[in-house]
Structure 1
Amino acid sequence: MALKNSYAIATPLNISIFLILLTIVYLRLRPSEPPKLPQGPKPIVFQTFTPRTLLKYNGQDNSPVYLAVRGKVYDVSSGRNFYGPGGPYENFAGRDATRGLACQSFDEDMLTKDLDGPLDDCADLSPDQLENLNGWIERFDEKYLIVGKLVPFKKTDFH
């Protein structure tokens, strides 16, 4: 004798619901693409600069902003609003800023005039000026990347 109210499990509605649930479970558990890391900045190659070759890194035309202190060349581009065009320290961009920082002066006469001459050894700085300079060097060492060294121009160097 057959049951009058027999229920079939494999009805079109049940199959549809089962397929929808199976799809949802698959979409939740399927492996996702690995996360893509953002590209880092271009690597900076440590370079040797002369006062003349450093000059082009003054921030003009969106170029990097470099300055030198005691022979170390720093990339101060992240402080462009201070060291780049229009900033309070813009005179130092692309230049040896050693004497100006030591003397706390932004005057043009603090900058090396002869770009092909010897570097300023700053031998005449007072103890207070040297202490001030060392404070700047500590600040730059902590905050900015050293991208090179500043050396005097030699007659054998090519432009």
Structure 2
Amino acid sequence: MTTPLATPLNLTLLILILTLIYLRLRPSSPPSLPAGPPPIVFQTFTPRTLLKYNGTEGAPVYLAVRGKVYDVSSGRNFYGPGGPYENFAGRDATRGLACQSFDEEMLTKDLDGPLDTCEDLTGEQVENLNGWIERFDEKYLVVGKLVAFRKTDFH
């Protein structure tokens, strides 16, 4: 004489065991992703408004090259305070990068004047600048554009 396996007691025990296995193996809470960085809004900067993004007091580090403003905060050790390129933080670095010079004279003195057109650069300097731009485009996020200050902007 054989006894059937599908008795009410066996089915109840099977359901209980499967329920216990499910409760033991299921995730305790739904997985969550870490919070991402705050969104960056594309902005228009003038040399004066860009100046505050020099990495001091926890500020992000931005610099401009040929009118594009890059967030170079991930390279803070190079472009931020104490870094070899700190003169460029919060400034238009176009001429300095083209000429491979970190001197203060490479920076725009008149923050309310016209932007440096860099028309006097040699072919070698332009090629050097294009190499920097290519590197920045690959590595850093463009967060805005640099324009000259216009008195009509502030009535």
Asked if TM exceeds 0.5, the reply is yes
For 2:89 and 2:27, locate their aligned partners in 1 and report how far apart those are by CA, in whole Å. 51
In our comparison, the structure showing a higher alpha carbon Rg is: 1
What amino acid sits opposite 1:115 in the alignment? L
Task: State the SS of the aligned residue for 1:68.
Answer: strand
In structure 2, the partner of 1:119 is: 115
Instruction: Map 1:129-140 to 2 at 5 A.
Output: 129-140=125-136
* Structure 2 gap ranges (5+): 1-13
Aligned length: 144
- The TM-score with structure 1 as length reference comes to 0.83
The answer to whether residue 38 in structure 2 is matched with residue 42 in structure 1 is yes
Counterpart of 1:60 (choices 48, 56, 63) is 56
Alpha-carbon distance, 1:27 to partner: 2.5
In structure 2, the partner of 1:84 is: 80
- The TM-score with structure 2 as length reference comes to 0.85
For 1:72 and 1:57, locate their aligned partners in 2 and report how far apart those are by CA, in whole Å. 14
The answer to whether residue 89 in structure 2 is matched with residue 93 in structure 1 is yes
In structure 2, the partner of 1:155 is: 151
Task: State the SS of the aligned residue for 1:73.
Answer: strand
In structure 1, the partner of 2:101 is: 105
Alpha-carbon distance, 1:25 to partner: 1.9
CA RMSD of aligned residues (A): 2.3
The answer to whether residue 69 in structure 2 is matched with residue 73 in structure 1 is yes
